[in-house]
């Protein structure tokens, strides 16, 4: 549509200019008695040329507004979809943050249990070593 508007405006400008020049040349060749009548005719012709050009510009503007409005509607729809996606992702982020906190707490509890079990294992090893020493001493006595 833009290409049509560009070429037609150039052609219209040249045609309008040619018409105005032709009218002026024709009016200059007319006699003085026709000058009042021809002047009013010339004004009318110029008025009609301006009016037609303005009408074409208004229609072009209306078409462009329609295109922009339709693009605006599409962008609003896209933005609305993106806003919904952002809200969904924010909820998901909150859920994952909560799950991360729960898992971190569970990991800390597991680490505490591992430490307690390691301490108990060390204690058991010490007890076993003492019993083994006692056993060895008892065995050597026997």
Q: For residue 27, is it left (φ>0), alpha (ψ between -120 and 50) or beta?
A: alpha
For 83-134, what is each residue's pLDDT tens digit?
Answer: 999 999 999 999 999 999 999 999 999 999 999 999 999 999 999 999 999 9
Q: What is the pTM of this model?
A: 0.46
User: Tell me, what's the pLDDT at 40?
Assistant: 78
* Stronger pLDDT, 122 or 8, i.e. the higher one: 122
φ, ψ of residue 46 in degrees (nearest 5): -65, -45
Token readout for 138 is 């008892």
Sign of CA dihedral 111, 115, 116, 117: positive
DSSP sequence for 20-66: HHHHHHHHHHS-GGGHHHHHHHHHHHHHHHHHHHHHHHHHHHHHHHH
For 31-63, what is each residue's pLDDT tens digit?
Answer: 444 455 787 777 777 777 788 888 898 899 999
The position carrying tokens 């108990």 is 120
Q: What is the mean pLDDT of residues 75-88?
A: 97
Helices 35-141 and 2-29 pack at an angle, to 10 degrees, of 160
Cα distance between residue 41 and residue 1, in whole Å = 35
User: Tell me, what's the pLDDT at 24?
Assistant: 53
60 Cβ partners below 8 Å, 6+ apart?
5
Letter string b/e over residues 69-90, b meaning 16 or more CB atoms within 10 A of that residue's CB: eeeeeeeeeeeeeeeeeeeeee
**pLDDT band for position 22 (50/70/90)?**
low
**pLDDT band for position 17 (50/70/90)?**
low
Q: Compute the C-alpha angle 27/21/1, nearest 5°.
A: 140
């Amino acid at each position: 549509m833009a290409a049509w508007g560009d070429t037609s405006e150039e052609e219209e400008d040249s045609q309008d200019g040619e018409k105005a020049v032709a009218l002026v040349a024709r009016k200059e060749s007319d006699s003085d008695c026709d000058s009042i009548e021809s002047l009013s005719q010339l004004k009318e012709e110029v008025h009609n040329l301006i009016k037609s050009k303005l009408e074409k510009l208004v229609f072009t503007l209306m078409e462009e507004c329609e295109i922009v409005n339709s693009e605006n509607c599409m962008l609003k729809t896209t933005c609305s979809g993106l806003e919904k996606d952002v809200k969904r992702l924010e909820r998901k982020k909150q859920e994952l943050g909560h799950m991360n906190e729960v898992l971190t707490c569970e990991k800390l509890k597991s680490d505490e249990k591992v430490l307690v079990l390691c301490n108990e294992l060390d204690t058991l090893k010490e007890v076993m070593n003492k019993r083994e020493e006692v056993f060895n001493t008892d065995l050597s006595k026997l």
